[in-house]
Amino acid sequence: MKVAQTESGELVLATAAVAKTQPLCCPNCQQPVMLKGGQRVAPYFAHVRPTGGTGESQIHQLGKRAIGTLAIASDYQVAYEVPIGQHQRADVLVTRGTQSVVVEYQCSPLTPACLAQRTNDYLAAGLTVIWVLGERFWPKYRWLSQQQLAFMQYRPEWGFYLFGYAPQQRKWLLYHHIVTIDFKGYFWQTRYLTQPQALRLMAQPASMIGSHQWSPIGIAQQRQVIQNRLVRMDPQLVSLQQACYQQGLTLQTIPRWCYCIDYVPPLFETGQFISRVRWLLDRQPIGTFADYAPRLQQPLLPATILKDWPSYRLLKDQQKLI
């Protein structure tokens, strides 16, 4: 590798480093590295203890190379591990003419806060960044973690989506039109892409992709799910039931508009039912409903995206169900 990281987080080029001056680590896996090279070999950094042939480091390298190959096929110039500013280095920097884009292949854990910092650093340098996800971040079992949700992106043609690459299968994946349904979890559609298909898709990002119309749970079914969870002493619902008791209500007798009768965008920390009941109990104006349906930390989505959705949807459901 051509770049290492100091204990303070600064990036050091192998061509500018001096051996044994300070501890250095790999920017990707944070393992110790050492400076190597000689009269016939250009300076480079190598792991002090190799991670082996099947570790995530090799997966990361394969992912970067696949991104580079795809970019070269699109007539871009490609550079790897390019330092950006004082604290970041781009996995792949692709350039055509005067336009450059950073492409990051993320296959190791990354908190939403770190994702936001890295993204903002690239934007501050005048660079757009595209995140391609390794298998660690692929959706499974109708549930998405905070890390997965942080990588959510949006295009009108694809809905909310995640983009991934599997080096071992050499397959590109697009998880598109991701939605969430109260008491059922997250739903999405998956499109597997060969390299030519991924190339065409990325070259024409406005391409429409058909979406499936998911069926939410009806109000009667939602009530049954709530009752079953109360029997199992679900902490959130038990606490909500106790709050209802204090106002002479029960979860079984609250207004019908507290039930969400449609799927919703994957933007909120809590389900619509819980948010609506909390809003009802506090008897606040409709404009404050966003306080009871707080947004997830999703730095790749603009703050304005669907900002009026909760209030608009609540008013619409009230008109339908009151």
| CATH at residue 169 | 3.40.1350
Q: Is residue 303 part of a domain?
A: yes
pLDDT at 128: 87
Instruction: Based on the fold, state whether residues 233 and 316 are members of the same structural domain.
Output: yes
Instruction: Based on the fold, state whether residues 130 and 254 are members of the same structural domain.
Output: no
Region 304-315: mean pLDDT is 77
Is pLDDT above 60 for 53? no
Instruction: Based on the fold, state whether residues 64 and 197 are members of the same structural domain.
Output: yes
Q: Is residue 85 part of a domain?
A: yes
Instruction: Based on the fold, state whether residues 227 and 198 are members of the same structural domain.
Output: no
pLDDT at 38: 64
Position with higher pLDDT, 284 vs 17: 284
Instruction: Based on the fold, state whether residues 110 and 163 are members of the same structural domain.
Output: yes
Q: For residue 114, give the nearest of 87, 152, 144, 86 by alpha carbon.
A: 87
Q: Is residue 209 part of a domain?
A: no
pLDDT at 322: 55
Distance from chain centroid for Cα 174: 13
Instruction: Based on the fold, state whether residues 111 and 243 are members of the same structural domain.
Output: no
Region 14-40: mean pLDDT is 70
Instruction: Based on the fold, state whether residues 191 and 84 are members of the same structural domain.
Output: yes
Instruction: Based on the fold, state whether residues 114 and 224 are members of the same structural domain.
Output: no
With tokens 């591990």, the residue in question is 81
Instruction: Based on the fold, state whether residues 87 and 192 are members of the same structural domain.
Output: yes
Q: Is residue 115 part of a domain?
A: yes
Burial of 160: CB neighbours in 10 Å, binned 0-12, 13-18, 19+: buried
Q: Is residue 33 part of a domain?
A: yes
216, 240, 268, 270, 285 from 312: Cα distances, Å: 18, 24, 15, 17, 13
pLDDT at 51: 45
pLDDT at 7: 65
Write out pLDDT tens, residues 209-233: 666 777 778 999 999 999 999 999 9
Q: For residue 2, give the nearest of 12, 14, 10 by alpha carbon.
A: 14
Instruction: Based on the fold, state whether residues 144 and 224 are members of the same structural domain.
Output: no
pLDDT at 56: 47
- Distance (Å, whole) CA 9 – CA 77: 28
pLDDT at 41: 62
Write out pLDDT tens, residues 132-184: 999 889 998 888 998 899 999 998 888 899 999 988 888 899 999 999 999 99
**Strand-pair partners of 173:** 164, 192
309-321 vs 272-282: helix crossing angle, rounded to 10: 80
Instruction: Based on the fold, state whether residues 34 and 159 are members of the same structural domain.
Output: no
pLDDT at 209: 65
Q: Is residue 212 part of a domain?
A: no
Instruction: Based on the fold, state whether residues 225 and 111 are members of the same structural domain.
Output: no
Structural domain that includes position 62: 56-203
What is the model's pTM? 0.77
Assigned token pair, 182: 């109260």
Q: Is residue 139 part of a domain?
A: yes
Write out pLDDT tens, residues 239-265: 999 999 999 999 989 999 999 988 899
Q: Is residue 208 part of a domain?
A: no
**Element spanning 113, H or E:** helix 112-124
Write out pLDDT tens, residues 114-126: 999 999 999 999 9
Structural domains of the chain, count = 3
